[in-house]
Structure 1
């Protein structure tokens, strides 16, 4: 029987192997002979794919970075067993801070194209928040700003997203133990685990990794620097904003507060407004004074700050800056449609420096890449501001700002 189906890469092989191990390992109730057959087939396929294949970013699931140090199939097998705690548990301490540090390092190495936050909650929980991915993880194509994963709800995720969540959950729980007995109300765990998309303050986003944005895989975005009026308003609000209150005493009034992601998903736009409550009159007075100094008229209303309006001078300044932004956006759109902002394509340029084969590439509109036999001069490239990136679309190399092109050429021609 062939246990591995439609395997096209080493990362897919690792993903299927982990699923088969969880289902068939004797320590999980499986059959020893079946596990031996799976290991034999894995060993042959591992050797065949060991030369490596190019990672397809549209299907990458994290397994392409899973224990790349393994030179043989048996080394990878041993690593998986140890990770799941069958020949040497990862559980070593009740100090969650140490486990969190290990999880952060592992997530950064395993999923460099995603971003995570890891924190502890209360005295017995560890939460992993998936903040960005380079694809939509839900089957229906709709982005959820906040979403807590469970074994039942995971069915709403795409197969690729389920692979990621399962891999993260399994590694996370390799540091856990559970001696609980729900029938007797006895609960004894190292920690309670939670994996969520987004958090209460920051929604989940689909975002392309920076190295791929620079290569042109993501459409360019309109950028605008706020004028002095908008900057002064943002500075005095310090992350807060005025929104409509539902509290009875200030019902339908515009008060100072903040919008946070709706944890239960009942709001129409995915956010809930929470008024900012002040416990001391002196604090409210100081805040109102700062707001009024720049032209925001407001007053105290119970324990909140109620918005009245803008001064005529501030309102005119804000309106003028809004018009400038709108005009700049319209011009940017026209440039995009006419193709004026597209950089001219340049051929790769070959440079020979003391026998080294090096190429200079116009990587993007604002950056150049230096690839090839750069190892002997790596220190010099770093000294002049280069950053090495192994995930460039043109292959591993050094990224420089376009402004440093002359410096780079002077170095290579020396």
Structure 2
């Protein structure tokens, strides 16, 4: 008699129940290893029984026909899990930091980034921060798109800084300038070039990471923590024109489309 899968009604339900059992019994979530091994052993037996029944009833699709008990034990035990293309458990955080330093130095020579690591008892963090930019970082009020304006309004209104009930373009521009002058860069909208650089660097860093955290269960099933290279909307980025300054935005945008791969 089944101990863990007694209420299973069909093949797909078996797999669903197994995933739910993983969430509460996986050792990474504080579960017991012996119990998890017992669940896995029973799942292997039940998998064959229910797959044979489904095959006999001709209810399996082509993908399901190729499944095995092992292949259906998802690499991730939550629905939020992901693994970067370049991730490897054998690579240390220090090595990842070295790779990131080389990447930003080669790809964005006119920008300055800080790359460092930190360690605690239950986690490790990679800190990448965009410190200097050779060009302006934010859009001016007259450069904002409608989507930008909506984003700015929601952010300013949520923080209690928006003062208008209705407005035209010139009034919006005046309000934008007032709020950003009084409350800083946090409320400004990044221009296309800076946004592309930030996204490219963040995507590159994440390609070396792994995360299977579930806020309802645990926060620690991650290779390393990373919070982006332009935290708080890049409020501390300094504008420092360089001798080898990139000539135009097109050059930077073209660069961001070329991802480096590890050797």
Q: TM-score, normalised by structure 2?
A: 0.30
Q: Which has the higher contact order (CA 8 A, sep 6+)?
A: 2
Which structure has the larger Rg over C-alpha atoms?
1
Which one has the bigger strand percentage?
1
